[in-house]
Amino acid sequence: MSTASLFVTSAGVGLAIAAPVGPMGMLCIRRTLTGGPRAGLAIGFGIATGDAVYGLIAALGLVGISQFMLAYDRPLHLLAGLFLLYLGVRTLLQKAPADSANGNGDIKLAQVGRAGALRAYASSLLLTLTNPQTVIMFAALFTTLAPRGAFSSSIALTTVGGVFCGSIAWWCFLVTVVSLARHAIGSKLRVAIDRIVGITLAAFGIVEIRRAL
């Protein structure tokens, strides 16, 4: 398989991994609605970075790090569960900001600043890194795409880069769609979406906590 083909295939895998709507997808949608596309993209880049970190660990054969992460699988699931539960409860309790109108009568929606985007990036990165099972998934992926004996650091970096770009492509698409719909969504509907997202995040958190016990 050529380098270009490997990159495209890996990008497709990254897209397929990111696309299913789970707790991180819900978090990305919610942050895009409340903070704008910058906040949503920060969440997406944090998730993709976390996947890339675990991908590098698996690809470069950093056995010590991967074994350490897997050895602490339960505490990490507990940490992720508590964080998701906290985000869910906070979302349920948080009041939606009132829409403000400019002089032309157009609704002006909140936009998160650089500091807020950095916090969103860091939180999504840390939450992604609490799932060490990702190492196993990437190890299986690399074994499939690059048979043993043909694997090298360049192949590893190409595969990880492809997965990262495919993941980013999905998050950019999701944020774009939500951002376009954001201007057509009224305050009451956004409150309802917040309730749904809050309940979903809390439910995912409880599942993660149960996995850790």
Q: Report the DSSP beta bridge partners of residue 101.
A: 107
Residue 174's pLDDT is what? 92
Residue 41's pLDDT is what? 92
pTM for the complete prediction?
Answer: 0.75
Distance, CA of 105 to chain centre: 35
Q: What is the rounded CA–CA span in Å between residue 31 and residue 29?
A: 6
Highest-confidence range of 2-6, 9-13, 135-139, by mean pLDDT?
9-13
Split at pLDDT 50, 70, 90, the class of 103 is very low
Q: Running DSSP on this structure, what letter comes out for residue 141?
A: H
Residue 176: pLDDT over 90: yes
Residue 156: pLDDT over 70: yes
Q: Running DSSP on this structure, what letter comes out for residue 109?
A: P
Q: What is the rounded CA–CA span in Å between residue 189 and residue 123?
A: 26
160-184: average pLDDT: 88
Q: What is the rounded CA–CA span in Å between residue 126 and residue 80?
A: 9
Task: Report pLDDT digits (tens) over 31-42.
Answer: 888 888 888 999
165-193: average pLDDT: 84
Question: Looking at per-residue confidence, does 72 or 158 come out higher?
Answer: 158
User: Identity (one letter) of the amino acid at 199?
Assistant: I
Split at pLDDT 50, 70, 90, the class of 50 is confident
Residue 45: pLDDT over 90: yes
Q: How far is CA 193 from CA 83, 85, 92, 181, 188, in A?
A: 20, 17, 10, 13, 9
Tell me the pLDDT of the chain averaged across its residues.
Answer: 78
User: Identity (one letter) of the amino acid at 184?
Assistant: A
Residue 169: pLDDT over 90: yes
Q: What is the rounded CA–CA span in Å between residue 141 and residue 135?
A: 10
Say what percent of the chain tops pLDDT 70: 76
Residue 107's pLDDT is what? 44
Residue 130: pLDDT over 50: yes
Residue 96's pLDDT is what? 56
- For the beta carbon of residue 39, count every other beta carbon within 10 angstroms: 25
Residue 106's pLDDT is what? 44
Question: Looking at per-residue confidence, does 156 or 66 come out higher?
Answer: 156
Q: Which helix (H) or strand (E) holds 81?
A: helix 73-93
